[in-house]
Structure 1
Amino acid sequence: MIVRIMGEGQWRLADDKVDALNAVDGDLEKAVSSGDEAAYQTAFAALLDFVRSGEKVPDDELHDSDAILPPSDSSLAEMRELISGDGLIAG
């Protein structure tokens, strides 16, 4: 799976990490739904860290992204506009 973080690049995550990625994304969706700023900050940082733990795709390689995450400085209000009941990661 290839995940892009806007403004940072792409990371490749192994297929066996997808369930864990969806769990972290679910935590983010819950925090956004509740409007809890502290929980949002924690959950979004955890999601970004999880993605960054994958293999960084070199900048000179371009692949279709399976998921695109907003920049790390996105606010709770901005995230509320982006996130659906399924979180940011489809699946």
Structure 2
Amino acid sequence: MLSIFQIIMLILDIIWFFIIAHVIMSWLINFQVLNLHQQLVAQIWHMLNRLLEPVYSQIRRFIPPISGIDLAPLIALIAVYALRIILMNNIAAFY
């Protein structure tokens, strides 16, 4: 059972990394540091959008963008971190 716990934690870590990468890329694209006309940048950007947009759209149904600021990535990060806390506090159930 401990291996299931570790796999779940690994998946949550990967999701955390994808959200952080998406946020940083969006900033770099908006400040024109990265250019979507570059093939590699565009491929990574579209992959991250395809992975995360379903999650963000569910969050945006409850919390729409406020004054042009999209809080969906922040809420998603908080949710992933909260899941990690819940799992860590209940690790005894995996033994």
Q: TM-score range by the shorter chain?
A: 0.3 to 0.5
TM-score normalised to structure 2 length: 0.31
Query: TM-score with structure 1 length normalisation?
Result: 0.32
Structure with bigger helix share is 2
